[in-house]
Chain A
Amino acid sequence: MSPLLRALSAESLKLRHTLALRMCLIAPAVVVALFVAQMSLLSHSSRPPTDSAKAWLGLSENILTLWSLVMLPLFVTLQSALLASIEHSDRHWKHLLALPVARRVHYLAKLLVLIGMVVTASALLALFICIGGALLMLVQPAIGLAGAPPLAYLAEKSACMLAASLLMVALQNWIAIRWNSFTVAVSFGMTATVIGMMVVQSKALGPWYPWSMPTMAISFDGAFASIAVAVALIGGVVATAIGLIDFERHEFS
């Protein structure tokens, strides 16, 4: 087994009994539950039922936007801080980095686990959208939801959103590992998320700002989406390379 696979296997064991693992389920569930609750409680009696395909797309787009703009950046912030704090607490780096394992392996394993968590949460979000839609068919028929959920749309948009989140993931991973403080990582991520909510309204800046890229990637304007995905992929690789160089040199106390 390669050192990276061994490190990933060790990471999976460390995640046992952790909040980080449970958050992969909780975060998407909360977003869908909130949206379904809101739709259930609103009065729709005066509105005529719309086309069922449009209703599904509308529901999916609304939830994906709420997720990509607010919950995904906060999720990445929290997860990266939790993953890094496993090593910062009890000063684990001094044990890990004294093992005969290349330093970069530890860094890459953390990054891959974080990406894996974002993938898992996104897949669960798509699943919960389908379940939430089915629930709304029963409790709020006036919305006009009917038939099968738009699986192809959900798969495509989820993939774009994931790709567009890679720069944000790489930056947040580096910050959480580099600074031995949960507060620094969380404060940085929260501030960047709030700025992202404003920047996303600008078509000129939105595709270039890491925390608004996931939302831009699922927008209906294909040009902006392509820019956001391309910048996030290239930027993600560059940020990872810089993070690795810094990690190789950094001396943990």
Chain B
Amino acid sequence: MTLAIRTRNLTRRFSGRFGICDLDLNVPAGTIYGFLGPNGAGKTTTIRLLLDLLRPERGEIALFGQPLNRDMRQTLGLVGALVESPSLYQHLSGRENLEVTRRLIDAPRTRIDQVLDRVGLADAAGRRVRDYSLGMRQRLAIALAMLGAPRLLILDEPSNGLDPAGILDMRRLLCSLVCDDGITVFISSHLLAEIEQIASFVGVVQAGQLRFEGRLDDLRARAKPKLGLRCDSPARAVDLLRAAGEEIVTADPNTLSIALSRRRPEEINRMLVSHGVGVSHLAVENVSLESLFFDLTDATAVEDAA
């Protein structure tokens, strides 16, 4: 599998803030990768490192196999980016804003109309940016990021400040970029619900460390409901359930927690009772993806792990 972004031991710390520590990212090419984490977890620091805006203390970055560092900046030609808020020249028109960057990166003139069409700003291109709405500015910033025909788009919280219609437009645009153009999109957000709708891979970062990386489906699989169970013979129940192929999540002297995937609760109850285990309590505990996300990004959990 080709990796659009590969980092190893990527570290950059700040006094008084988390920064990031030993981050090993693996972003598969041609996918939308959601980079999740609460505010201050290190998402923007990571993105700034991926764009050579910050220099790492240690670690390596490779984009599509090409190393990126201060001496190898041409690798950035593979990337288009929107970091935090859009950076636009307010006194210039939308088209002139694109022309400034086009001249810098020596992109073909025809590219300006292509990206304007793509983000739906062709009609407003002649207006000064100071008259643009927030949604239009965001779209122009995406057009700027796409100007150099990048293979990888890095977007830092691109839905910030957008209304629901704007968020929907953004989502459609990103999905079409991946499906039609084969671009890889690396998108950061602190909102799981937003990422859940578009991403196929996710990385969850908390306090500068990667807590989970993989397919969104794998994260969902972790979120399957559990069955809480109390019985008179927990040790025997664990043996029986394991033998029957059930996954025991936790087993303390009083309560067993079983991942519900193979059998329904009543079947588990019947099986235990038929083997002489007295069940006194049986309750389904639904685990939402959101609560799993909160578990992953719980600061106290990180401290405990440390």
Instruction: Give me the interface of A with B, judged by CB distance under 8 Å.
Output: 1, 6-7, 9-10, 13-14, 16-18, 86, 89-92, 94-103, 248, 251-252
Contacts of B55 in A (CB 8 A): 251
Supposing A90-B87, A91-B87, A100-B76 touch, asked if A7 and B104 sit within 8 A by C-beta, the answer is yes
Interface size in chain B (residues, C-beta < 8 A): 34
Do A101 and B105 have beta carbons less than 8 Å apart? yes
Closest-by-CB residue of B relative to A98 is B51
Do A100 and B89 have beta carbons less than 8 Å apart? no
Supposing A16-B96, A90-B88 touch, asked if A98 and B104 sit within 8 A by C-beta, the answer is no
Taking the nearest CB of chain A, how far is it from the CB of B79, in angstroms? 7
In this complex, the member of B77, B84, B103, B104 whose beta carbon has the largest number of chain A beta carbons within 10 angstroms is B104
Q: Tell me if B113 counts as interface (CB < 8 A to partner A).
A: no
Closest-by-CB residue of B relative to A106 is B104
Q: State in angstroms the CA–CA spacing of A86 and B129 once bound together.
A: 14
Q: State in angstroms the CA–CA spacing of A13 and B99 once bound together.
A: 8
Do B85 and A16 have beta carbons less than 8 Å apart? no
Taking the nearest CB of chain B, how far is it from the CB of A187, in angstroms? 24
Taking the nearest CB of chain B, how far is it from the CB of A1, in angstroms? 7
Do B92 and A98 have beta carbons less than 8 Å apart? no
Taking the nearest CB of chain A, how far is it from the CB of B161, in angstroms? 14
Q: State in angstroms the CA–CA spacing of A87 and B298 once bound together.
A: 38
Supposing A94-B53, A99-B76 touch, asked if A10 and B87 sit within 8 A by C-beta, the answer is no
Supposing A90-B87, A95-B83 touch, asked if A14 and B92 sit within 8 A by C-beta, the answer is yes
Instruction: Give me the interface of B with A, judged by CB distance under 8 Å.
Output: 48, 51-55, 70, 73-77, 79, 81, 83-92, 96, 99-101, 103-106, 144, 148
Do A100 and B91 have beta carbons less than 8 Å apart? no
Closest-by-CB residue of A relative to B75 is A100
Do B79 and A98 have beta carbons less than 8 Å apart? yes
Q: State in angstroms the CA–CA spacing of A107 and B210 once bound together.
A: 36
Do B53 and A252 have beta carbons less than 8 Å apart? yes
Q: State in angstroms the CA–CA spacing of A38 and B87 once bound together.
A: 46
Taking the nearest CB of chain A, how far is it from the CB of B299, in angstroms? 24
Do B104 and A96 have beta carbons less than 8 Å apart? yes
Do A97 and B92 have beta carbons less than 8 Å apart? no
Taking the nearest CB of chain A, how far is it from the CB of B132, in angstroms? 12
Do A100 and B73 have beta carbons less than 8 Å apart? yes
Closest-by-CB residue of B relative to A6 is B103
Closest-by-CB residue of A relative to B50 is A98
Do A86 and B89 have beta carbons less than 8 Å apart? yes
Do A94 and B87 have beta carbons less than 8 Å apart? yes
Do A251 and B104 have beta carbons less than 8 Å apart? no
Of B54, B75, B104, which contacts A10 at CB under 8 A?
Answer: B104
List 20 A–B pairs whose Cβ atoms lie within 8 Å, in order of A's numbering.
A1-B106, A10-B100, A13-B96, A13-B99, A17-B92, A18-B91, A86-B89, A91-B85, A92-B87, A95-B81, A95-B83, A95-B87, A97-B52, A97-B53, A99-B105, A99-B148, A100-B73, A100-B105, A101-B105, A248-B70
In this complex, the member of A1, A6, A94, A98 whose beta carbon has the largest number of chain B beta carbons within 10 angstroms is A98
Do B100 and A13 have beta carbons less than 8 Å apart? yes
Q: A7-B103, A95-B81 are in contact. List 14 more A-B contacts (CB 8 A).
A: A9-B103, A10-B101, A10-B103, A13-B103, A14-B89, A90-B85, A91-B85, A91-B87, A94-B51, A99-B76, A100-B77, A102-B73, A248-B70, A251-B54
Of A6, A13, A101, A103, which contacts B92 at CB under 8 A?
Answer: A13
Contacts of A91 in B (CB 8 A): 84-85, 87
Closest-by-CB residue of A relative to B100 is A10
Supposing A1-B106, A7-B104, A10-B104 touch, asked if A98 and B81 sit within 8 A by C-beta, the answer is yes
Contacts of A86 in B (CB 8 A): 89
Contacts of A10 in B (CB 8 A): 100-101, 103-104
Do B104 and A99 have beta carbons less than 8 Å apart? yes
Do B100 and A98 have beta carbons less than 8 Å apart? no
Contacts of A97 in B (CB 8 A): 51-53
Q: State in angstroms the CA–CA spacing of A1 and B77 once bound together.
A: 17
Closest-by-CB residue of B relative to A92 is B87
Q: State in angstroms the CA–CA spacing of A90 and B92 once bound together.
A: 13
In this complex, the member of A1, A6, A94, A97 whose beta carbon has the largest number of chain B beta carbons within 10 angstroms is A94
Contacts of A95 in B (CB 8 A): 81, 83, 87, 101, 144
Contacts of B103 in A (CB 8 A): 6-7, 9-10, 13
Of A6, A7, A94, A99, which contacts B83 at CB under 8 A?
Answer: A94
Taking the nearest CB of chain B, how far is it from the CB of A94, in angstroms? 5
Taking the nearest CB of chain A, how far is it from the CB of B120, in angstroms? 21
Closest-by-CB residue of B relative to A19 is B91
In this complex, the member of B55, B90, B92, B148 whose beta carbon has the largest number of chain A beta carbons within 10 angstroms is B92
In this complex, the member of B73, B74, B96 whose beta carbon has the largest number of chain A beta carbons within 10 angstroms is B73
In this complex, the member of A16, A86, A92, A100 whose beta carbon has the largest number of chain B beta carbons within 10 angstroms is A100
